[in-house]
Amino acid sequence: MGEADKKGAYDRLAEVIRSCRACPLYKGRTQAVPGEGNLDAEVMLVGEAPGKTEDEQGRPFVGAAGQLLTEALERAGLPRPTVYITNVVKCRPPNNRTPTEEEVASCVKYLREEIRLVRPKVIVALGNTAGSALFSLAGLKWRGATAERGRQVRAKVEGVEVVLLPTYHPAAALYKPDLRGLLEKDVEEAAKLVKRGRQGRRTLLDFM
């Protein structure tokens, strides 16, 4: 798919997301929040759902947790414009509660389209909701964020060969600062996987 075709497909998807009424969350949103970033990104980061600031601005990860994530990306040599960032659920749940299974089921089709469009090499699952959704799409069993964190799992999602790398959500690292180092380590590992893949001596999957 050419660059113009890919941008057109993204614009159409973003418009569908912004007008979506597939679940009751639309009733309380300011605006839905499509993913954003490099449509040819090698690294995709997937979170849970928009928070208050994201709901207001219509962009993912722009609040305090987003700032922490942006800093981790910069430190790892993955400036935010080089990656693609999105959430499993595109509308803010009331009081930032965890999305329900029904809400995830209604919205995950958009994440599937984003993966098919971007075709990343590494997908970083930020937190339990993202990890559970992505492992389900890959036909894998999810054991929880703490158990899975830091694993590198070769998988096929929407026909795309990827490495799934689960870690903690940046919001969790805000509330528990001891998790921040683990989050940063995992983001750095995503950058290393991509760098090794570019070297051409071996594929990403040789490092699994």
Quick one: average pLDDT of 107-135?
A: 98
CA angle at residue 110 from 105 to 112, to 5 degrees?
A: 90
Full-model pTM: 0.94
Over residues 130-156, mean pLDDT: 96
**Cα separation values, 118 from 5, 45, 72, 78, 104, Å:** 12, 12, 22, 16, 20
Mean of the per-residue pLDDT values of the chain: 94
Q: What confidence tens digit (pLDDT) does each residue in 73-91 have? A: 999 999 999 999 999 999 9
Please answer whether residues 113 and 138 qualify as being in contact, where contact means their C-beta atoms are separated by less than 8 angstroms.
no
- The phi, psi pair for 14, rounded to 5°, reads -60, -40
**Distance (Å, whole) CA 204 – CA 183:** 20
Q: What percent of the chain is modeled with pLDDT above 70?
A: 96
CA distance 56 to 170: 19
| Dist. CA 105–CA 22, nearest whole Å | 10
Q: Residue with structure tokens 């921040």?
A: 180
Say how far apart CA 127 and CA 172 lie, in whole Å: 8
Number of Cβ within 10 Å of residue 172's Cβ equals 18
Q: Which two tokens stand for residue 105?
A: 């089921």
**3-class SS of residue 99:** coil
pLDDT of residue 110: 98
Plot region of 131 (φ>0 → left; ψ -120 to 50 → alpha; else → beta): alpha
Mean pLDDT value of segment 89-108: 97
Q: Which of 110, 10, 104 is nearest to 48 (CA)?
A: 104
